[in-house]
């Protein structure tokens, strides 16, 4: 049932949340903005507006785990396509390399998410943040989150495979 989702996103709070998320994404395209947001979060995470609600938001949506899985899948797909036809590199080697990076991927994903969400949701009032959080605690919110991640993961995996294949071909051409 899409009714609760449509009602939320048609509401002033829903519209504000979307606008802030888009604004945050645009701002994070600037490396200095992202780094400053990360620094602020590292230095004093509990001082961030809505720190507790952001942690709850990340938890209910399983954001760190889902981002780690998507990142590791994209890395695997990229490297597998990159090394296509290279008898010296097999999937076991690629997987071992990626699993060695899991902790770094997890830490970076968590830091990015906290920094981004703190910046994006900072202007929300406590009531608006709670309304946003409440949406994700519903069955419809969880279904939307799953659909968004499934679509995102499929797209990133596809792009990673094509980029890996193109980079591998380029390397082979340079070697010739």
With cut-offs at 50, 70 and 90, classify the pLDDT of residue 172: confident
Contact 29/119 with Cβ under 8 angstroms?
Answer: no
Residue with tokens 């609760």: 4
Summarised one tens digit per residue, pLDDT across range 129-143 is 999 999 999 999 999
How large is the average pLDDT for residues 51-58?
Answer: 95
52 vs 45: CA distance, rounded Å:
10
Residue 176 has pLDDT above 70, yes or no: no
Q: What pTM value is reported for the model? A: 0.87
Number of domain units in the chain: 1
22 vs 154: CA distance, rounded Å:
21
Residue 7 has pLDDT above 90, yes or no: yes
With cut-offs at 50, 70 and 90, classify the pLDDT of residue 11: very high
pLDDT for residue 47? 84
- Name the residue range of residue 158's domain: 3-175
């Amino acid at each position: 049932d899409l009714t609760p989702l449509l009602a939320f996103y048609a509401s002033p709070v829903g519209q504000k949340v979307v606008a802030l998320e888009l604004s945050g994404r645009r701002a994070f395209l600037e490396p200095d903005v992202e780094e400053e947001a990360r620094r602020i979060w590292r230095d004093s995470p509990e001082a961030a507006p809505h720190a507790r609600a952001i942690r709850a938001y990340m938890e209910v949506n399983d954001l760190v785990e889902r981002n780690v899985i998507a990142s590791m899948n994209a890395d695997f797909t990229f490297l597998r396509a990159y090394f296509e036809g290279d008898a010296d590199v097999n999937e076991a080697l690629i997987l071992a390399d990626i699993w060695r990076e899991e902790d770094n991927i997890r830490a970076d994903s968590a830091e990015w998410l906290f920094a981004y969400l703190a910046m994006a949701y900072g202007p929300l009032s406590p009531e608006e943040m709670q309304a946003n959080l409440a949406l994700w605690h519903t069955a419809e919110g969880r279904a939307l989150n799953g659909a968004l991640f499934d679509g995102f993961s499929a797209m990133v995996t596809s792009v990673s495979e094509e980029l890996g294949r193109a980079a591998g071909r380029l390397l082979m051409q340079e070697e010739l």
